[in-house]
A = this chain, B = another copy of it.
Amino acid sequence: MQNKVTPRILPGFMELLPEEQILFNRIKDEIKNVYESFGFLPLDTPVIEYSEVLLAKAGGETEKQIYRFSKGDNDLALRFDLTVPLARYAAQRYNDLTFPFKRYQISKVYRGERPQKGRFREFYQCDIDIIGNESLDIIYDAEIPAVIYNIFKRLKLGDFTVRLNNRKILGGFFEYTGLSEKTADVLRIIDKIEKIGSENVKEELVKLCTEKQAESIMEFVSVSGTNAEKLECLKSMGVENHMFTEGVSELEEVLGYIKMLGCDEENFRIDLTIARGLDYYTGTVYETFLNDYSSLGSVCSGGRYESLAEYYTKRRLPGVGVSIGLTRLFYQLREMDIIKPDSKTVARALILPMDKSCSKYALSVAGLLRSQDIPTDIYHENKGMKQKMKYADRTGVPYVVIIGEDEVKTGMVMVKNMKNGSQKAAKPEELALIIKGDN
């Protein structure tokens, strides 16, 4: 036989063992369920697209990182995010869609970066966006953080904070202070305040503007107190600028709607330093932090944009959305031991026939359990009972059903609760109730 090829995968690709995959899928499903509970529709775009289409907007870093290749006469590329495919889809299927179009997509994207710890070349993004036709009510800006709230409540990763801001407040303020031409630069600097601290931010600012302007920026980003106090403070600053006023009133409205959506206000905080790197956000912006693990940075970010698909269509398609980088988040949560796999099996019951003569009866018990919606595995290998129980133990299955000659004769089974070790005889028809009732 020929030489063997060493089985291996590329660095920067996450491939999990079953127990880790079960945990990963559980989180992925939670996210999906919350997305659907808000009426977001599923979308599944191709991994491969025309380079011309995928790169209509991109440039710089994106082009360098993209997986791009030819096949026949076609110049192709793998998607590097889920926003560009959404823009292409919304423009292409415009006539078939009902707006506002609310879609979610949970899919892998590809970036050929240099691999390093915690960076991935293939990773899941979990995106939601709400796309309007020409306009989109501000109320949807509250729906997005309400979705985030529900997800992180369910994931039980401890306390979390959704930080909100509105780009119009920033833009208007800079216009008022005569800094609007430097808005992008100033935004980039104050976005770093958490990382480098106020002093360094101010130091960078004075390179750009007058001392007085820098001071007034620092005063602005230091507005503090509760959300209501911050809003009051902003209103009483005397900034006479339309954009600014609009931004403050949008932020106030969004916070009001969030409360009406049943979210606890504790989890939402106005943060005037948030600008978001991407240039295309124009209104509300969000970042989400796990309070006990702030070193993770924002685990879920997004915001409102004026125009989703301008590279593909003349129509104005404003939207608001957010993305969870699930692969990276999962990796970090595992690294820090914040989450742990608790089972090597998706089965609720494992059936152990003591020997071959019990197989047929064991199969019929398995069929019965499955028909009653109990995921059931069965172990047929020719091993001793001790080894079989060891196997059961290792899988972490909650119930083991033992079937020996006696059980076959009497039409009973022996069921063992693996959590507390208790064991009792039961009729096959009683099993589902025992396992579902967890008693």
Contact = CB atoms under 8 A, between A and B. Distances in A.
Interface in A127-167: 132, 137, 139-140, 142-143, 146, 150
A25 interface: yes
A424 interface: no
Interface string A250-268: 0000001100111100000
Interface in A84-127: 87-89, 91-93, 96-98, 100, 102-103, 108, 110, 112, 121-122
Given A22-B41, A98-B344, A377-B38, A46 B261 contact: no
Contact of A4 (B5, B50, B314): B314
Interface string A37-79: 1111111111111101100100000000001111110101010
A6 interface: yes
Contacts of A132: 381
Interface in A368-419: 368, 370-371, 373-382, 391, 394-395
Q: How large is the interface on A (under 10, 10 to 19, 20 to 34, 35 or more residues)?
A: 35 or more
A89 B48 contact: no
Given A7-B53, A260-B364, A370-B150, A42 B71 contact: no
A48 B10 contact: yes
A310 interface: yes
A214 interface: no
B375 A257 contact: no
Nearest to A391: B98
Contact of A381 (B13, B100, B350, B378): B100
Contacts of A313: 4, 7
A72 B256 CA distance: 51
A98 B18 CA distance: 10
Nearest to A108: B47
A15 interface: yes
Nearest to A105: B21
A360 interface: yes
A36 B242 CA distance: 57
Given A44-B16, A261-B364, A50 B382 contact: no
Given A22-B41, A310-B1, A312-B5, A67 B48 contact: yes
A237 interface: no
A262 B375 contact: no
Nearest to A1: B310
A359 interface: yes
A360 B260 contact: yes
Contacts of A261: 363-364, 366-367
A373 B137 contact: no
Contacts of A143: 378
B47 A47 contact: yes
Given A4-B314, A313-B4, A41 B67 contact: no
A280 interface: no
B311 A5 contact: yes
B41 A346 contact: yes
A312 B122 contact: no
A100 B388 CA distance: 12
8 contacts: A4-B312, A5-B53, A13-B46, A17-B97, A21-B44, A140-B380, A257-B360, A257-B363
